[in-house]
C-alpha cells in the first residue's frame, strides 16, 4: 500500500495530472490514482477533467494565476491592535473597526473578533465567551 500525502498543494496535483496526461492516461483513470496517493483531500473528478482540457489546449502553467484583492494576512500584532481598540470602546461595530483599520476587510475583521479573540455580542457589547454566571449578571 502507498503512503498518502496529506495537504497537497494544488500545483503539485496539477503537475501530476499533467504528467499522467502526457502518458495518455484518461482523466477517469487519473482521478482514482490521485485519490489513492493524496487521500480524500484531492480535486474532484470534474476539476481533473478541466485541468486535462487546459493542458490539451496548450496550457503549460501548473501554478495559480495572480488574483486581485487583499491578501489574507493576520498576525499576532494585528490581532493585539484590534483587541486594544475593542477594549477602548466595547460598544463597537465591525464598521467602526473598519474605519480604524481600513487596510483590513470587514470579513477578516469579523473573523479576528469572533474566531481569534473569541468575542460575541451580549447586550450590545462584545465580551469574552468564557464568562461565569456572576459576570453575566453584572
Per-residue pLDDT tens listing for the chain (138 residues): 677 888 788 888 899 999 999 999 999 999 999 888 888 878 899 999 999 999 999 888 888 777 776 556 778 888 999 999 988 887 788 888 899 888 888 888 888 988 888 887 755 556 666 677 787 777
Per-residue model confidence (pLDDT) at position 69: 67
Query: For residue 19, what pLDDT is reported?
Result: 93
CATH number 1.10.10 is the correct assignment for the domain at 10-57: yes
pLDDT at 124: 53
SS3 116: helix
How far is the first Cα of the chain from the last one, in angstroms, to the nearest whole number?
Answer: 60
Residue 109 burial by Cβ neighbours in a 10 Å radius (0-12, 13-18, 19+): buried
Amino acid at each position: 500500500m502507498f503512503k498518502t500525502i496529506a495537504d497537497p498543494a494544488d500545483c503539485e496535483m496539477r503537475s501530476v495530472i499533467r504528467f499522467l496526461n502526457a502518458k495518455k492516461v484518461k482523466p477517469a483513470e487519473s482521478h482514482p490514482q490521485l485519490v489513492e496517493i493524496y487521500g480524500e483531500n484531492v480535486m474532484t473528478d470534474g476539476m481533473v477533467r478541466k485541468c486535462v482540457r487546459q493542458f490539451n489546449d496548450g496550457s503549460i502553467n501548473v501554478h495559480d494565476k495572480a488574483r486581485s484583492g487583499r491578501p489574507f494576512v493576520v498576525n499576532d500584532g494585528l490581532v493585539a491592535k484590534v483587541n486594544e481598540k475593542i477594549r477602548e470602546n466595547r460598544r463597537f461595530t465591525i464598521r467602526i473597526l473598519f474605519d480604524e483599520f481600513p487596510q483590513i476587510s470587514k470579513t477578516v475583521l469579523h473573523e479576528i473578533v469572533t474566531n481569534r479573540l473569541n468575542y460575541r455580542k451580549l447586550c450590545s457589547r462584545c465580551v469574552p465567551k468564557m464568562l461565569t454566571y456572576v459576570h453575566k449578571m453584572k
